[in-house]
Amino acid sequence: MMSSLSADVLVIGGGLIGSSIAWRLTQKGARVTVADAGNLGGEASSAGAGMLAPGSEASKPSRWLDLGRESLRMYPAFLEELREQTGLHVEYRACGCLVLDAGSAVPGVRVEQRGADLFYPDEALIDPSALLRTLRQAGKKQGVLVEHGALTGVDASRHGAVVVAAGAWSSSLQVRHKGELLPLPESTPVKGHLIGFQMRQGLLGPFLRKSHTYVLQRADGLVIAGTTEEHVGFDTSVEFAACNDIHRRAAEVVPELAAVEPVRRWIGFRPGPELEDGPVLRQVEGTNVWLAYGHYRNGILLTPVTAQWIADRIAG
């Protein structure tokens, strides 16, 4: 808890998680600085496809599923609040998700059987780049300061609170408290390739999944297909073989894609590793350091709930 609501907070990481925490903290009266080593969310937040899919991602009941469902429920009001504050519109579509040749759904999730497929009517899509721009704009309006440049070490004793929200980079930071180096839970990058096709608008309604493949469409017609899970460190290379494999799998889901060349190929780094109990969301005991990372495949989905959870606790 901050000693006073006007205390300063240093948020390390300017992706969706860091930016949303910073925005929420300023609403509680904190003076917030976001420190970002890269291009503010360019490596994971804006690379993601933007599926808000707690049920169709889940294979069993878990904290991931609980947090995901809560965050999905929060999304419409979260976006409305951002729109009121910034005037910016973030593409969000409650189109549902159709899982082809699905197994059984996790109990408690609303789902409809459609032959061999399962339809999750509550699931939605969002444009994560637009969300990131909007969060930054909202933060700026509320006085969030941004510092660019690689931060290797932080002395938490100099701040009211420190939030580590640097995704896959989090555990490489040296965070000290009263001179002591804090051991941070490990974070690792899990690379994913994505490809995009420019198609006619309205080609896809719900987003589609089949095993490890997903295909979705944005309002401007861009169809995005993914993905891979690669444990290759921070290797930013875009591999044609991986893209071709996604293309082949995506064409099994949407046959029209077989004859079309991708207009974009890109990668992102999910903030791993894959943890059993959900992301790392907690205070480092006996310190003013808070951890908000390890969102793995669910960073975009879990943005509203993470921001609320961390900001509420820091502000007491």
211 close to 228: Cβ distance less than 8 angstroms:
no
Q: For residues 205 and 137, what is the distance between their CA atoms, to the nearest angstrom? A: 30
**Residue 306 C-beta-side C-alpha neighbours within 13 Å:** 31
227 lies in the binding site for ligand GLY (CB under 6 A): yes
For the bound state, the minimum distance from the C-beta of residue 270 to ligand GLY, rounded and expressed in Å, comes to 5
270 lies in the binding site for ligand GLY (CB under 6 A): yes
| Beta strand ranges found along 157-233 (DSSP E) | 161-164, 174-177, 180-181, 188-198, 207-210, 213-217, 222-226
Letters for 83-122 (x = contact with ligand GLY by CB under 6 A, - = none) are ----------------------------------------
In the complex with ligand GLY, which residue's Cβ is closer, 109 or 311?
109
Q: Tokens 């995005």 belong to which residue?
A: 224
| Residue in 23, 3, 7, 1 with CA at minimum distance from that of residue 315 | 1
- Three-state secondary structure string covering 113-170: EECCEEEECCCEEECHHHHHHHHHHHHHHCCCEEEECCCCEEEHHHCCEEEECCHHHH
In the complex with ligand GLY, which residue's Cβ is closer, 66 or 81?
66
For the bound state, the minimum distance from the C-beta of residue 68 to ligand GLY, rounded and expressed in Å, comes to 11
Residues numbered 39 to 68 that lie near ligand GLY (CB under 6 A) are 49, 51
Q: Total residues at the site for ligand GLY (CB under 6 A)?
A: 7
| Residue at 153: amino acid letter | G
Q: Tokens standing for 276? A: 């059993």
In the complex with ligand GLY, which residue's Cβ is closer, 9 or 300?
300
In the complex with ligand GLY, which residue's Cβ is closer, 13 or 272?
272
For the bound state, the minimum distance from the C-beta of residue 288 to ligand GLY, rounded and expressed in Å, comes to 31
For the bound state, the minimum distance from the C-beta of residue 128 to ligand GLY, rounded and expressed in Å, comes to 10
Single out the residue of 68, 192, 271, 304 in contact with ligand GLY (rule: CB under 6 A): 192
Chain residue whose CB lies nearest ligand GLY:
297
In the complex with ligand GLY, which residue's Cβ is closer, 136 or 297?
297
Single out the residue of 193, 218, 247, 297 in contact with ligand GLY (rule: CB under 6 A): 297
13 close to 165: Cβ distance less than 8 angstroms:
yes
In the complex with ligand GLY, which residue's Cβ is closer, 136 or 270?
270
Single out the residue of 167, 206, 226, 272 in contact with ligand GLY (rule: CB under 6 A): 226
Distance of CA 228 to the CA centre of its chain: 16
191 lies in the binding site for ligand GLY (CB under 6 A): no
Q: For residues 312 and 56, what is the distance between their CA atoms, to the nearest angstrom? A: 29
Q: For residues 12 and 20, what is the distance between their CA atoms, to the nearest angstrom? A: 12
For the bound state, the minimum distance from the C-beta of residue 22 to ligand GLY, rounded and expressed in Å, comes to 23
188 lies in the binding site for ligand GLY (CB under 6 A): no
Q: Tokens standing for 191? A: 């690379």
Q: Tokens standing for 214? A: 């997903």
82 lies in the binding site for ligand GLY (CB under 6 A): no
For the bound state, the minimum distance from the C-beta of residue 136 to ligand GLY, rounded and expressed in Å, comes to 22
Q: Tokens standing for 144? A: 């969030």
By the criterion CB under 6 A, which residues form the site for ligand GLY? 49, 51, 192, 226-227, 270, 297
